[in-house]
Amino acid sequence: MFNVADALRLVMAQRILCVGDLMLDEFVYGDVLRVSPEAPTPILTIKRSDTVIGGAGNVARNVMSLGARCVFVGVVGEDEAGGSARKALEEFKPAIDAHLVTDRSRPTTRKVRFVSEHYSAHLLRADWEVAAPVSGEIEDQLIEAAVTALPRVGAVVLSDYAKGVLTPRVVRAVIEEARKLDKPVIVDPKAHDYGVYRGATIITPNRKELSDHTRRPVTSNAEIAAAAADLARTLECGAVLATLSEDGMFLHVEGAEPVHVPAYPVKVRDVSGAGDTVVAALSTMLAVGADFEQAMRIANAAASVVVGKRGTAAVTPAELRARVLPAAALAAEEKIVFDWGIADERVREWRGQDLRVGFTNGCFDILHPGHVKVLAEARATCDRLVVGLNSDASVARLKGPDRPIQDVHARADVLAALEAVDLVVVFEQDTPLELISRLKPKVLIKGGDYRVEDVVGREIVEAEGGEVVIIDLLPGHSTSAIVRRSGNGAKAEARAVAPTAAKI
């Protein structure tokens, strides 16, 4: 029987190949307070902006976020946006192994969205792009990079945004080579002629695309089933997954009954990039051996997570587990946050209820009574306690290459199970300064091995009218001491066993 938790663990050993149209997504957020006197248009007072890798690059980000590695093949221009894209993907190494071909004849595709935060509405989108097929020389480089990577991946995603990277020649070369190696090919389609995708394993049109390319109505489930079956026969695909927005997803698999799954009842904040999340989840699940229906259900859950976030977003294993596990298992996992945007919203909700928010942080590698005492007393100073948790890479930098003993998911699970903890937020930096600056807690709590003046983030909290609280430590309890004792115990056991072994 397919087990989601086991599958998510297996994902970490997978590598996915993604070929497609890379772009930069910029979101400019602000408030609309008045209409322009020059024209009947709203004036957006800018508050902040975020720039992320988008398009096919967002598929790679989601593959990485789910715990797998991604080999990404795409095209950039010889421009500032291309340099930014290269730099951003370099920062994701080794999780994303990017092979970017430079095309001097076109700009790097860039989309800028202007968003009203108050109304949660997109006001305008500006695009920089050339939506024309790449040259034969560029095709050769793309095919070589993709075909070279194929033997070492578990699945292939063709992420087509119709910007010219996935030409018929590139698509056919990748699909044919993948079929020789028995690798599943997942297609997120945008081509004018779907015939180019013939032989793919599964194709994921939305409702309109399904109707347009089959020339059939797709209002009812029966109509969708007929259109999906027609498309599958025409393209010789193993399956068609129709994404239906707020109506969920519909799956046709040859020889099986069609399956419709409803969308999760969530507050939709932004649908940008949701399709990328769907194909990333499909590819990772198919790579670990899930069948089409199992993979679709996971993809549906993943999509429900990202549409609840702002901007082009990714989903984490913890968020996915929290969405698909039974309600009785969710209490602890609902507290764990990797996406700081979700933490922002949770803290904002608490403040709106006039609740006093506290913050403490640590590695919490092996939870011991000293930790429990500090966390319990920290919770007593506030109405809601946020715990900043160092990521695995952060712990290794602070404590040495042999730490952490437990990975971030295990450490977060244990913390979230404590009644004193209301939210666990993972941070990658060496200190929580950036996180504290963002959340602006009313109380900043640390253990008694710190002096008030040495507490990271003190100035930020005090400037906001908050306070720093130092809690006495419980003597005799230290993670480092536990690790040392464990190491000494293992050495003593080895010394005790060694003479016996010698006598044998």
Say if CB 146 and CB 19 are below 8 A apart: yes
> 404 preceded by cis ω (within 30°)?
yes
- Cα separation, 336 vs 356, whole angstroms: 20
- Cα separation, 78 vs 83, whole angstroms: 8
- Cα separation, 336 vs 343, whole angstroms: 9
Say if CB 337 and CB 347 are below 8 A apart: no
Q: Which residues pair with 73 in a beta bridge?
A: 19, 99
- Cα separation, 420 vs 387, whole angstroms: 10
Q: What percentage of the chain's residues is helix, strand, coil (to nearest 5)?
A: 45, 25, 35
Residue with tokens 């640590």: 362
- Cα separation, 440 vs 344, whole angstroms: 10
- Cα separation, 360 vs 458, whole angstroms: 12
The one-character DSSP state at 449 is T
Q: Classify residue 381 as exposed, middle or buried by CB count within 10 Å of its CB (0-12, 13-18, 19+).
A: middle
Active site residue 402: no
- Cα separation, 465 vs 350, whole angstroms: 17
Q: What angle do CA 321, 324, 325 make, to 5 degrees?
A: 75
Q: Which of 276, 339, 365, 422 is catalytic?
A: 276
Radius of gyration of the chain (CA): 25
Q: Which tokens go with 200?
A: 């793919």
- Cα separation, 376 vs 425, whole angstroms: 18
Say if CB 342 and CB 363 are below 8 A apart: no
- Cα separation, 115 vs 121, whole angstroms: 6
CA nearest neighbour of 368 among 301, 447, 255: 447
Instruction: Give the contacts of 294 (CB within 8 A, at least 6 positions apart).
Output: 2, 285
Q: Which residues pair with 71 in a beta bridge?
A: 17, 97
Say if CB 454 and CB 369 are below 8 A apart: no
Q: What positions carry a catalytic annotation?
A: 276
